[in-house]
Amino acid sequence: MILDDAYRKSTQYRQWSYTQEKLAEIRQNTNDVACIRLREKARIAVAAESTQTSSDEGSFSHGREGVVLTDGDIQTLKAEEELKIVDWACMKIIEVSGAMEPRIPSNITATAIQYLRRFYLTNSPMIHHPKQLVPCALYLATKADHLYLPLSKFIDGLEGVSEESIKARESVLLQGLRFALDVRHPMKGLVGGCIEMHAMAEEGRLGGISKATGFASRIDSAADQAKKLLVTAAQMTDAYFLYTPSQIWLAALTLADRELTETYLERKLADLASPEAAATESRTKLVSTISACARLLESYRLPDPHTQRKELRRIRRKLDICQNLAKVDIEASPGRTFTSMEGEGEGGDYPGRPTKRRKLEVEISQEKGDSSDSDGVV
């Protein structure tokens, strides 16, 4: 429980564990690389436009009123804005999984959210729009967590989603995840911990928490509150990147019932056969880490819908520009400016696939014409 030795052998720890500083550095670097790439594509787009018509005078119009790019004025997203888009996508996964029949279990929904959060550590939403990856991440999670659901049934009821679109983007998502699909969730640890607490209380090993004080209802109530935090706050923050599963569920339980958690930890630490000095040091370190994780979970608040919608609409205008630029082929000639987004498998500019190409053009034109979407992004 203290050292999490088994967890430290997992791909989640080896590939997806960071400090807060490193996490911020990776996100900023991802944003910087995407911005450089898009500015280069904007330069090519401007050059192509200027050679095709002299009336453009070196500008590239996105197609929306008031949105015009010049070679020195590229409206790319900031790293903080990218994170807001990712948070929106994670909420979409929760909405979609809750509306599906049969309802997707919370642990699979959590897996899909973590797939998306991992993917966008090293991939920018400016290049890969999360709207296209939300259903793909959710379906991949059902397969990884052994929930058999035929793709044809999965997409039933998902408007605008086809089997082909999910298959085409699955390889992109897998590459972004480094083909590491294992996600260790804190929910399982919470269940095991509560079973152990029940047994300890039965034996009178939880101090004042015993049969006489109605321990069962207290433990169950704390577990229910903790689980709610694990399926919301733990998913919508960086908890999985910063802490181990056991630290996360203990932090959630601390917020639900601090006395119960502290009593449980004291008893567990007392049972360890280690020198007193080492035990004291371990306890101090463990309590400090759990407290920091608890503060992170406690800090999460659902955004105000009106404020969020307004902010996402602002970000969307910039994201639309970036999405158009992402389709510019750096290697293309001026007469062949737009091709498929790199890494995308559907709607690409491939020989023998004009039907999909026309379908994508129709979808893009529909998106451009819809400026009053309810969530401000799609």
Instruction: Report yes or no: 187 and 249 within 8 Å, Cβ to Cβ.
Output: yes
Lookup: tokens for 225: 């509150």
* Cα angle for residues 29, 31, 35 (degrees, 5° grid): 115
C-alpha 197/C-alpha 265 separation (Å) is 10
What is the full per-residue pLDDT of the chain (378 aa) written as tens digits? Answer: 445 678 888 999 999 999 999 999 999 999 999 999 998 888 887 777 777 655 555 454 544 444 445 545 578 999 999 999 999 999 999 999 999 988 999 999 999 999 999 999 999 999 999 998 999 999 999 999 999 999 999 998 788 899 999 999 999 999 999 999 999 999 999 999 999 999 999 888 888 887 777 788 999 999 999 999 999 999 999 999 999 999 999 999 999 999 999 999 998 888 776 666 666 777 889 999 999 999 999 999 998 999 999 999 999 999 988 888 777 655 543 444 333 333 333 333 333 334 443 444 444 444 444 433 445 455
Best CATH choice for the domain 185-299 from the list 3.30.70, 3.30.1380, 2.60.40, 1.10.472: 1.10.472
> In terms of pTM, does the model score above 0.75?
yes
Contacts of 23 (CB under 8 A, 6+ apart): 121, 238, 241, 242
Can you count the helices (H) and strands (E) in the chain? 16, 2
Instruction: Report yes or no: 326 and 341 within 8 Å, Cβ to Cβ.
Output: yes
3-state secondary structure of 374: coil
